[in-house]
């Protein structure tokens, strides 16, 4: 009910034994920001910046992007806003970029790979975020990272943009926004210990992580029935990446569809995740679930799940899990 949702918006997202689980919102279009605070989000964990490049023939300028990001950050009144750099290519094509899809677009020139081959594009996005970040806390997120070299290359571009601002006497935000990486390719998950030394935070993208771990095209109906985030391989990748982040002392969130499924909240919490980012509408139900978790029970549950051989048994354990 509406009353219930309103009550939930104002109660904290903490487990029964007092551990905070930060619930953030994902947005794809600026207009969605209206529902974010209403849902009780503590921040925006993922701004998909693709909309800026779609359905148009020219590239968005630094001014245009800075204005959009500033509006989002101001709207969030001091809560963090995580802006992901362009994630085009693959199933998302940008008209303004004139990308021709290869035979396997999901394995082609997309996301951070595309940004690094067109550094002017990345410089424009970084400059726009630096300008907007003077209005409130922002974080920068790189999609589809596979190697530490990509993180170093992107950071070099960010450092160069910061140096340009200084040289031109343009004001900078304090702090400079942290630079995080999406863990959404198995190679990134399995080298998360190395990536954690280069990145300021991780965001695990379970949609692509599932696609790439299982070799299932997210958009291909013929194999949709084989798309299974509860495959043991996917959960082990999440577990490894979360452990690497914890060992390195950097924050880690989950921002794929799994984050918004309340049945999976105890499992993700038990794997060590303390920040979830999801479509706003999912936040109240996930918060309700958080408030029934205890850490020992969730950790036992995660341990049991990780010992299962297949998604069917994992699904059965999840259905029968009772946080009490």
| Catalytic residue annotation | 255
Minimum CB distance to ligand PEP, residue 206 (Å):
5
Choosing among Mg ion, ligand PEP, none, which partner's interface includes residue 261 (Cβ < 5 to 8 Å by kind)?
none
Only one of the segments 13-21, 96-104, 202-210, 230-238 lies at the binding site for ligand PEP (rule: CB under 6 A); that segment is 202-210
- Residue 1, burial from CB neighbour count under 10 angstroms (0-12, 13-18, 19+): exposed
Q: Is 48 annotated as a binding residue?
A: yes
Minimum CB distance to ligand PEP, residue 83 (Å):
13
Among 60, 180, 186, 205, binds ligand PEP (CB under 6 A): 205
- Nearest by Cα to 278 from 287, 270, 269, 266: 287
- Rounded CA-CA distance 37/75 in Å is 9
Q: Is 218 annotated as a binding residue?
A: yes
CB of 15 or CB of 211, closer to ligand PEP: 211
- Rounded CA-CA distance 73/78 in Å is 7
Choosing among Mg ion, ligand PEP, none, which partner's interface includes residue 275 (Cβ < 5 to 8 Å by kind)?
none
217 binds ligand PEP (CB under 6 A): no
**H-type helices in 180-231, by residue range?**
186-190, 192-195, 206-214
The 3-state DSSP class for residue 202 equals: strand
Only one of the segments 114-122, 158-166, 203-211, 312-320 lies at the binding site for ligand PEP (rule: CB under 6 A); that segment is 203-211
What is the number of alpha carbons within 13 Å of residue 275 lying toward its C-beta? 24
Minimum CB distance to ligand PEP, residue 61 (Å):
23
Contacts of 293-297 with C-beta under 8 Å, sequence gap 24+, read: 293/15, 293/16, 293/21, 293/265, 293/266, 293/269, 293/323, 294/15, 294/16, 294/17, 294/323, 295/15, 295/17, 295/19, 295/269, 296/17, 297/266, 297/323, 297/324
End-to-end CA distance of the chain: 24
Write the Ramachandran bin of 41: left for phi over 0, alpha for psi from -120 to 50, otherwise beta: beta
Q: Residues 79 to 98: which contact ligand PEP by CB under 6 A?
A: 87
Q: Is 55 annotated as a binding residue?
A: no
CB of 135 or CB of 231, closer to ligand PEP: 231
CB of 173 or CB of 205, closer to Mg ion: 205
91, 106 Cβ separation under 8 angstroms: yes
What is the number of alpha carbons within 13 Å of residue 91 lying toward its C-beta? 8
255 binds ligand PEP (CB under 6 A): yes
Q: What angle do CA 47, 49, 54 make, to 5 degrees?
A: 145
Residues 6+ apart with CB under 8 A from 120: none
Total site size for ligand PEP, rule CB under 6 A:
9
Choosing among ligand PEP, Mg ion, none, which partner's interface includes residue 228 (Cβ < 5 to 8 Å by kind)?
none
208 binds ligand PEP (CB under 6 A): yes
Q: Is 26 annotated as a binding residue?
A: no
Among 124, 206, 242, 280, binds ligand PEP (CB under 6 A): 206
Q: Is 208 annotated as a binding residue?
A: yes
Minimum CB distance to ligand PEP, residue 184 (Å):
5
261 binds ligand PEP (CB under 6 A): no
Which residues are annotated as part of the binding site for Mg(2+)? 184, 208
Which residues are annotated as part of the binding site for phosphoenolpyruvate? 48, 84, 207-208, 218
Interface with ligand PEP by CB under 6 A: which residues?
A: 48, 87, 184, 205-208, 255-256
Which residues are annotated as part of the binding site? 48, 84, 184, 207-208, 218
């Amino acid at each position: 009910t509406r009353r219930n949702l309103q009550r939930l918006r104002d109660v904290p997202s903490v487990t029964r034994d007092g551990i905070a689980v930060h619930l953030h919102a994902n947005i794809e279009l600026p207009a969605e920001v209206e529902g974010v605070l209403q849902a009780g989000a503590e921040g925006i964990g993922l701004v998909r910046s693709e909309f800026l490049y779609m359905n148009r023939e020219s590239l968005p300028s630094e001014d245009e992007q800075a204005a959009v990001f500033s509006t989002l950050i101001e709207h969030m009144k001091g809560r963090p806003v995580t802006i992901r750099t362009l994630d085009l290519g693959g199933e998302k094509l940008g008209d303004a970029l004139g990308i021709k899809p290869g035979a396997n677009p999901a394995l082609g020139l997309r996301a951070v790979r595309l940004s690094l081959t067109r550094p002017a594009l990345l410089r424009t996005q970084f400059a726009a975020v630096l300008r907007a970040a003077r209005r409130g806390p922002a974080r920068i997120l790189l999609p589809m990272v596979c190697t530490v070299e990509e993180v170093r290359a992107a950071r070099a571009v960010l450092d160069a943009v910061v140096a340009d601002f200084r040289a031109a006497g343009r004001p900078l935000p304090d702090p400079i926004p942290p630079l995080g990486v999406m863990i959404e390719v198995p190679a990134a998950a399995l080298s998360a210990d190395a990536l954690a030394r280069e990145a300021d935070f991780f965001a695990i993208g379970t949609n692509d992580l599932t696609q790439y771990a299982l070799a299932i095209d997210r958009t291909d109906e013929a194999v949709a029935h084989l798309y299974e985030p509860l495959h043991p391989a996917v959960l082990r990748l999440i577990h490894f990446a979360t452990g690497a982040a914890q060992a390195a002392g950097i924050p880690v969130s989950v921002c794929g569809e799994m984050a918004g499924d309340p049945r999976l909240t105890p499992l993700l919490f038990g794997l060590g995740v303390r920040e979830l980012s999801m479509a706003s509408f999912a936040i109240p139900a996930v918060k309700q679930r958080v408030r029934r978790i205890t850490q020992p029970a969730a950790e036992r549950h995660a341990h049991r799940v990780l010992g299962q051989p297949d998604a069917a048994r994992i699904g059965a354990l999840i259905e029968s899990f009772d946080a009490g």
